[in-house]
A = this chain, B = another copy of it.
């Protein structure tokens, strides 16, 4: 990423990283945030709260996701320590995905956000309708 120095440098880079200041674009949490808030990251984390599931289960559950993005997003989440992957060495392959303890904590917060949006959808749609929704 071609992150540039943020115009608000009251602290050193090291200090910003240590404090985890998300406004600093050098902060690694931006990367994690990117995985989590990616188009499929949110949906996958919520989906996995239902318990251990296979690749094809997830593909079926999360509408519209391609194999490629499912694999890639799962790999991101696995690398970040949110998802555990267990491949049983059988033919045909049998791979199971589940949330780690860390992932479960995260998924709870993500789901709280998603649920809130769904719950408030009537208000949100009303807000949109009340103004001539200009551009998407």
A positions within 8 Å CB-CB of B: 1, 3-11, 15, 19-25, 27-29, 31-34, 36-39, 42-43, 46-47, 60-64, 75-76, 79-81, 102, 105-106, 109-121, 123-128, 131, 133-136
Ranked nearest first, the 9 interchain pairs of A and B with the lowest CB-CB distance are A81-B127, A6-B63, A20-B118, A37-B37, A25-B64, A25-B63, A8-B63, A109-B113, A29-B117
A20-B64 in contact given A32-B124, A33-B42, A102-B124 (Cβ < 8 Å): no
| Chain multiplicity (copies) | 2
A interface, by DSSP: helix, strand, loop or mixed?
helix
Residue of B nearest to A114 (CB): B22
